[in-house]
Amino acid sequence: MDQGNFIDKDRKEKLSSKTYDLYAPLVYTSILHRVPAGPIANKILEKVFVNAFTSKNKTSFTIHVPLVSLMNASREKSNLTMRALEIFRECCAGTTISINSANSKKNTQDR
């Protein structure tokens, strides 16, 4: 067995559904320090765990200290998400943006 396979096996054993049950509340609390509770925070939590379970970048997730890695990932994802939304807001200077729903519906149907 090469080292890569060994890491994958180790990872699968340590990242189970129990990982989510055990750490999600703590990670979510960390997210709420940067993001208001609601759909944005929920999506960040989901992405942090999905990335942890599926990421091929072994160096970004230290399997032996999953909580630290999850907290770091949640911090980075929260900051980037808020920054992205701030950029979007800046582009329109806080103007009230409406979704052109009639257009969107037609647009979707056309494709």
Partner 1 sequence: MKDVLKRNNVTITGDGSNVMLFAHGFGCDQNAWKYVKDAFAQHYKLVLFDYVGAGKSDVTMYDFSKYASLQGYATDVIEICDALNLKDVIFVGHSVSCMIGGLASLSRPGLFKKLIFVCPSPCYISKGDYVGGFDQLTIDSLLEVMEEDYISWAKSLAPVIMSQENGKKLTQELSESFCSIDPIIAKQFARVTFLSDNRKDLPSITVENLTIQCADDMIAPVAVGQYIHENTPYNTMTILNARGHCPHMSHPIETIEAINIFLEEMSL
**How many Å apart are CA 84 and CA 96, to the nearest integer?**
17
Would you say 22 or 37 has its CB closer to partner 1? 37
Q: Binding to partner 1 by residue 80, rule CB under 8 A?
A: yes
Type of residue numbered 32: L
SS (H, E, C) 10-48: HHHHHCCHHHHHHHHHHHHHHHHCCCCCCHHHHHHHHHH
Nearest one of 100, 49, 107 to 74, comparing CA atoms: 49
Q: From the CB of 97, what's the least distance to partner 1, in Å?
A: 6
Query: Which CB sits closer to partner 1, 16 or 42?
Result: 42
Q: Does the protein bind partner 1 through residue 81 (CB under 8 A)?
A: yes
Find out whether 61 and 69 touch, Cβ atoms under 8 Å: yes
Based on the shown chain and the rule CB under 8 A, indicate whether residue 42 belongs to the binding site for partner 1: no
98 part of the interface to partner 1, by CB under 8 A: yes
Residue 37 binds to partner 1 (criterion: CB under 8 A): no
- Please give the residue ranges that form the binding site for partner 1 (CB under 8 A): 36, 38-40, 43, 80-100, 103-104, 106-108, 110
